[in-house]
Amino acid sequence: MGADFALIKAYLRNNGWALSRKIKTADLVIVNTCAVVKESEDESVALIKKVQKNKNRSAQMLITGCLPSINKNRLKQVFNGTAVSPNSFQELDKILNTKSSISEIKYTGSLRKLKKNKYAEYRLRIGWGCQGKCSYCAVRFVFGKPRSRPILDILKEYDIAYNKGYRRFILIANDSGTYGEDLNISLAHLLDKLCQKYKECRFALSHLTPNKLKEMLPSLERFIRQDKIWRIYVPVCSGSKRILKLMNRSYDLNDFKYCVTRLRNCNPNLEIKTLFLVGLPSETEKDFLDSLKLAEWLISNNVVTDCIAYSSRPNTEASQMPNQIDSQIKQERLKRLSILCSFFNSLNNNKEELLGISNKIS
């Protein structure tokens, strides 16, 4: 969502707006929301209330982000003004009566000031939407089916970021593995173009599903061996076959473990990240122990492992499932898995710091 909000800021600047540091002096206030999980939704609603209370009465207020698409009813309870979802940003042209259209803006990332001797990562959006039908996910209601961003648009933004000093890029999409399918190209084709243009740049891949990773691994291996890819994020979600089926996650755990092993053989220094979702309706202690067992295997293979608790989202299949898990049980399981994950993650961070010290000494 950060990259999308950066697009809005670039769009407003292009139309003569200036960023105000104080809400009370602003003529236009935009609240960018998140409703991926209930906790984020609660924070967004609290922020909307706070802004309404503190803004200038004459100021125009807009709501963006995924709350308008995920939980429109709750938004209406606290705000009766204009809301625009990420899938309909073109409506801003009419709402704000701008001279330059948002479709003309090619810069959608988030440029940050580079700190001396530190690598800043640039978030480069390559697509929107997802072909999955995960039973717990409401984000797919926001972006719809996969849409790939044209390579020329991506390269223009890539040039801007490179000329600002960026050398590490996170390729952002809701479903990276589907990039290019609607353009008759592939993610590997895009990586070729990016690597050829600036040879010193490196890339991180976000949101690759395990089944897509297996399918794409042969075409990605050369980039991994050449150290062009420094991180791959591939959420596994659960170690239980039964829960994965309820989640509508269509992959085999043995295939996922095969991919991790093969990636590790390609480049021992590659950062692999994954995510577990704890507490889907009907999850038993046995199901949870299967996730713990898989997490232990992943940790032994130097995979950075995070976890979150399942959160019921409106209009999702999982929200209608029987045997919803008690909040206390979810939190207890989340704590057990988090302790296991954080122990490894802290060891991994310490290892990176030691490597940095070693490099400076040498």
* DSSP E strand stretches across 38-146: 60-65, 82-83, 121-125, 127-128
Are 20 and 26 in contact, with CB atoms under 8 Å apart?
yes
Q: Which two tokens stand for residue 295?
A: 């997490």
pLDDT of residue 252: 94
pLDDT of residue 168: 95
User: What's the pLDDT band for 68 if we cut at 50, 70, 90?
Assistant: very high
pLDDT of residue 111: 59
**Residue 250 identity (one-letter amino acid):** S
Residue 348, pLDDT > 80, answer no
Query: Average pLDDT of 328-349?
Result: 83
Name the region of 134 (left: φ>0; alpha: ψ -120 to 50; beta: rest): beta
pLDDT of residue 22: 87
Q: Which residue has the higher pLDDT, 362 or 182?
A: 182
pLDDT of residue 110: 59
Query: Average pLDDT of 189-205?
Result: 97
Residue 354, pLDDT > 70, answer no
Closest CA to 318 of 260, 277, 353: 277
Q: Which residue has the higher pLDDT, 13 or 266?
A: 266
Q: Which residue has the higher pLDDT, 358 or 296?
A: 296
Closest CA to 127 of 104, 148, 110: 148
pLDDT of residue 240: 98
CA 14, CA 198: separation in Å to the nearest integer?
A: 28
Q: Tell me the percentage of the chain whose pLDDT exceeds 90.
A: 73
Residue 359, pLDDT > 90, answer no
Lowest mean pLDDT among 70-79, 325-334, 353-362: 353-362
CA 129, CA 322: separation in Å to the nearest integer?
A: 28
Residue 249, pLDDT > 90, answer yes
Q: Which residue has the higher pLDDT, 115 or 36?
A: 36
Q: Give me the half-sphere count of Cα atoms (radius 13 Å) on the Cβ side of residue 209.
A: 19
Name the region of 210 (left: φ>0; alpha: ψ -120 to 50; beta: rest): alpha
Query: CA angle at residue 249 from 315 to 280, to 5 degrees?
Result: 55
CA 90, CA 101: separation in Å to the nearest integer?
A: 8
Query: Average pLDDT of 298-325?
Result: 94
DSSP letters along 79-92, please?
--SEE--GGGGGGH
Query: Average pLDDT of 210-223?
Result: 95
Residue 113, pLDDT > 90, answer no
Domains contained in the chain, CATH given: 2-104 (3.40.50), 121-361 (3.80.30.20)
Average pLDDT, the chain: 89
Q: Tell me the percentage of the chain whose pLDDT exceeds 70.
A: 90
Tell me if residue 61 falls in helix, strand or coil. strand
pLDDT of residue 85: 87
Lowest mean pLDDT among 99-103, 170-174, 199-203: 99-103
Lowest mean pLDDT among 5-19, 129-143, 224-238, 325-339: 5-19
Query: Average pLDDT of 233-237?
Result: 97
User: What's the pLDDT band for 237 if we cut at 50, 70, 90?
Assistant: very high
pLDDT of residue 104: 81
CA 161, CA 169: separation in Å to the nearest integer?
A: 9
Query: Average pLDDT of 198-211?
Result: 95
pLDDT of residue 349: 55
96-128 burial code (b ≥16 CB/10 A, e <16): bebeeebeebbbbbbbeeeeeeeebbbbbbbbb
User: What's the pLDDT band for 108 if we cut at 50, 70, 90?
Assistant: low
pLDDT of residue 176: 95
The pTM score is 0.86
pLDDT of residue 342: 80
Name the region of 114 (left: φ>0; alpha: ψ -120 to 50; beta: rest): beta
Query: Average pLDDT of 234-256?
Result: 96
Residue 347, pLDDT > 90, answer no
User: What's the pLDDT band for 6 if we cut at 50, 70, 90?
Assistant: confident
As a 3-state breakdown, the chain gives helix, strand, coil percent values, each rounded to 5, of: 50, 15, 35
